[in-house]
């Protein structure tokens, strides 16, 4: 028996060494979900791909994994059995563990996400975007009312208000990205929120990025995107 102990220890060491070390682990719970499949997804070459999945059959917790070169956006997608569903939670992940806790009924809206510093900054940005969206809805209502009574003056004023609101949203995004120039969120916002803005604004963000962020996935994509737009002019 004593002779077997060193062999058992050696086998355990080899087993632990061979166990795959994952860059990213996403775990959490979906309250009230009894059966379905959760997918971990990301965008690769402009295509949304599945990187991992897990079938839920009564267990409380899901665990998913992915390789990760640099912090980037992932999607947690729920495909509930016997239901045509397109439920996705968007989150910014970094190496390590991200926890997501949500409910079946309000899968995307009730999600509590704990993980990367990029995710915290993204949530801060999205809160401000909610204010812009609320103002935009108010302007849509005003436009509808103005057209109903054929008030050309109000229609024109409202159109200017739309343009000013859009400009304010873009400028806020530029300032937010520049302020967070040491975060992968900065080039991501440029690519997803203001990709159609004036090139000078995109350049402002790009030029402010730290060397590390410039060399990240979204940093390289932003540089390439700006060069493409300049060549098309």
For the beta sheet containing 72-80, the strands, ordered from the edge strand earlier in sequence to the opposite edge, are 47-57, 35-44, 72-80, 87-93
Burial of 155 (0-12, 13-18, 19+ CB in 10 A): middle
* Each residue's pLDDT expressed in tens, for the chain with a length of 233 residues: 555 555 444 444 444 444 467 899 999 999 998 898 999 999 998 899 999 999 999 888 999 999 998 999 999 999 865 454 558 999 999 999 999 999 998 898 889 999 899 999 999 999 999 999 999 999 999 999 999 988 899 999 999 999 999 999 999 999 999 999 999 999 999 999 999 999 999 999 999 999 999 999 999 999 999 999 999 88
The neighbouring-strand residues paired with 113 are 100
Cα–Cα distance, 76 to 52 (Å, whole number): 10
Domain extent listing, the chain:
22-115, 119-232
The structure's pTM equals 0.84
Strands (DSSP E) found in the chain: 24-31, 35-44, 47-57, 61-66, 72-80, 87-93, 96-103, 112-114
Q: Please give the CATH topology (third level) of the domain spanning 22-115.
A: Immunoglobulin-like (2.60.40)
The tokens describing 117, both together, are: 């510093």
């Amino acid at each position: 028996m004593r002779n077997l102990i060193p062999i058992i220890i050696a086998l355990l060491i080899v087993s632990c060494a061979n166990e795959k070390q994952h860059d990213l682990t996403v775990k959490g719970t979906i309250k009230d979900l009894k059966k379905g499949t959760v997918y971990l997804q990301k965008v690769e070459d402009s295509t949304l791909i599945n990187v991992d999945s897990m079938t839920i059959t009564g267990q409380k917790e899901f665990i998913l994994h992915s390789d990760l070169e640099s912090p980037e956006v992932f999607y947690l997608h729920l495909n509930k059995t016997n239901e045509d569903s397109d439920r996705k939670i968007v989150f910014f992940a970094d190496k390590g563990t991200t926890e997501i806790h949500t409910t079946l009924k309000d899968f995307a809206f009730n999600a509590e996400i704990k993980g990367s510093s990029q995710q915290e900054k993204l949530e801060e940005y999205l809160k401000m975007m909610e204010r812009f969206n609320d103002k935009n809805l108010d302007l849509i209502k005003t436009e509808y009312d103005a057209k109903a009574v054929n008030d050309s003056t109000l229609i024109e004023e409202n159109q200017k208000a739309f343009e000013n609101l859009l400009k304010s949203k873009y400028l806020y995004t530029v300032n937010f990205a520049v302020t967070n120039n040491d975060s992968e969120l900065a080039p991501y916002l440029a690519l997803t929120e203001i990709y159609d803005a004036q090139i000078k604004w995109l350049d402002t963000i790009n030029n402010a990025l730290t060397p590390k962020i410039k060399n990240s996935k979204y940093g390289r994509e932003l540089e390439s995107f700006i060069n493409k737009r300049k060549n098309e002019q």
